[in-house]
Amino acid sequence: MKSIFTFFIIIFLLSSCSPNDKKEEKQEQYVILISLDGFSHEYAKKYNATNLLTLAKEGIEAKALIPPYPSKTFPSHYTIATGLYPEHHGIVGNNFYDPNFEEYYSTSNRNTVEDGKWYGGTPIWCLAKNYNVRSATYFWIGSEAEINGCRPNFYNNYDKTVSIKERMDKAIEWLQLPKNERPQLISLYFSLVDDSGHKFGPNSKETEESVKQIDIALGDLFSELDSIDLPINIIVVSDHGMYPLDQSKKVFLEDLLDWSKLDANPTDAFATIYTSSSTERDSLFTILKNKEEGRYITYKKSEVPKNLHYSNNDRIGDIVLIANAPHFFIKKSKKDYWGTHGFDPYKYSEMHGIFYAKGSALKQNQQIPAFESIHIYLLIAEILQLPYDSSKIDGKPHVLKHLLKDQF
């Protein structure tokens, strides 16, 4: 009789502890999200980035990561952070005009970059904070601003002079904090490869050297992470790829319009024009349409192709010019450079980036098709067990959820 009583006591204790143990285990997952700005989906194999290739082989490798339109740094990074297309999160370019604020947002203007009023959606670090999950960022787009009263627990204002090693060392330092202070979500940003791709082109020796330099640094980081006794998940992405420029394909902006008289945002891959006058809009549209010559396409905002998700926001210009690569817009005074991005990612595979992942919550040896970066948000939320409202996110749970282990 005593033995039967003891048996039931043991069963009771196991059944009462087991769910809590599982819940605790899931809550302790860690995600290290790493962005390599401008790292083309071809670079790792092309330039033999051995550490990234090993991560991809042992973990998960996507054929490519498809950025949102426009495939520029700020819109793309904030899409990864929110799971929203730019027309929904509001960062519709690196620079743009808001007719309601009657102000310009600019990546070079610290006042706008650090002002939360510009940023829509719920960044992943804010979703984490809503459920008492700590986060830390090193230069991720949007993390310098207080968005709806929220900031990451740790963040840094952008300083390009901070070395790669210093950023990576900080990630290790964060992971070594006491448990009640330790962030479970860490995001890191590196611009080295993008800088080389712009200045020298994606096929240059300089870009190859930058790829190898960041790969060596990542190898050191991966080794240090392996020595930390925590359930860590590494996700390496890039915001976009890089298109090699042919200087004979320049479209000089001055030959199209007198931009100084317009509220406009001309860039190399696209240009937008703002006007409250339908008469002026129609006049400008006709002028630009007549000068296309196959080099670009002129759209009224409402006519931008639906697959680009680039019409449902006041910050998108009333007229949108989209360059047909290899043609690109440029001012006559600007010096030559040899690579750019921002083109239609559904049309040009050169705009595609990378997605490699490996970790305790993820399946191994997985090769998956190319997918849009809007879905990464939900994968991170699933790993960290963060509840979310899928109706408020453009990403879809089913796209990446199959990459999770059944039990983690």
Domain boundaries, the chain: 28-243+346-403, 247-336
pLDDT digits (tens, 9 = 90+) for 119-156: 999 999 999 999 999 999 999 999 999 999 999 999 99
Contact call for residues 2 and 384 (beta carbons, < 8 A)? no
pLDDT digits (tens, 9 = 90+) for 27-79: 489 999 999 999 999 999 999 999 999 999 999 999 999 999 999 999 999 99
Cα 145 from chain centre: 16
- Candidates 178, 181, 91; CA nearest to 136 is 181
**Distance between CA 359 and CA 34 in Å, rounded?**
14
- DSSP letters spanning 59-118: SEEES-EEPPSS--HHHHHHHHHHS--HHHHS--SSEEEETTTTEEEETT-HHHHT-GGG
So what's the pLDDT on residue 26? 54
Contact call for residues 46 and 52 (beta carbons, < 8 A)? no
Mean pLDDT of the chain: 94
Task: Judge whether 267 counts as a catalytic residue.
Answer: no
At CA 392, angle to CA 387 and CA 398, rounded to 5?
Answer: 65
Catalytic residue among 73, 112, 137, 275: 73
Contact call for residues 33 and 364 (beta carbons, < 8 A)? no
pLDDT digits (tens, 9 = 90+) for 174-210: 999 999 999 999 999 999 999 999 999 999 999 999 9
pLDDT digits (tens, 9 = 90+) for 95-128: 999 999 999 999 999 999 999 999 999 999 999 9
Contact call for residues 320 and 301 (beta carbons, < 8 A)? yes
**Distance between CA 349 and CA 330 in Å, rounded?**
22
Cβ burial 156-181 (10 Å sphere, 16+ → b, else e): bebeeeeebeebbebbeebbeeeeee
**Distance between CA 70 and CA 269 in Å, rounded?**
9
CATH no., domain 28-243+346-403: 3.40.720.10
Q: Which CATH class is domain 247-336?
A: alpha beta
Contact call for residues 76 and 67 (beta carbons, < 8 A)? yes
**Among residues of the chain, what percentage have pLDDT more than 90?**
92
Banded model confidence at residue 2, pLDDT cuts 50, 70, 90:
very low
Residue 5 has pLDDT above 90, yes or no: no
Banded model confidence at residue 3, pLDDT cuts 50, 70, 90:
very low
Average pLDDT over residues 348-366: 98
CA distances to 160, 213, 339, 364 from 404, in Å: 35, 31, 36, 10
Beta-bridged to residue 307, according to DSSP, are none
Residue 394 has pLDDT above 70, yes or no: yes
- DSSP letters spanning 243-286: EEP-GGGEEEGGGT--GGGSEEEE-SSEEEEE-S-HHHHHHHHH
Residue 241 has pLDDT above 80, yes or no: yes
So what's the pLDDT on residue 10? 40
**Distance between CA 2 and CA 113 in Å, rounded?**
70
Q: Which amino acid is at 286?
A: T
| DSSP state letter for 182 | -
Contact call for residues 374 and 339 (beta carbons, < 8 A)? no
CA distances to 112, 329, 337 from 87, in Å: 18, 23, 29
- The number of residues making up the chain comes to 408
Beta-bridged to residue 188, according to DSSP, are 34, 138
So what's the pLDDT on residue 407? 76
The pairing of beta strand 95-98 with beta strand 103-106: antiparallel
Q: Say what the pTM is.
A: 0.92
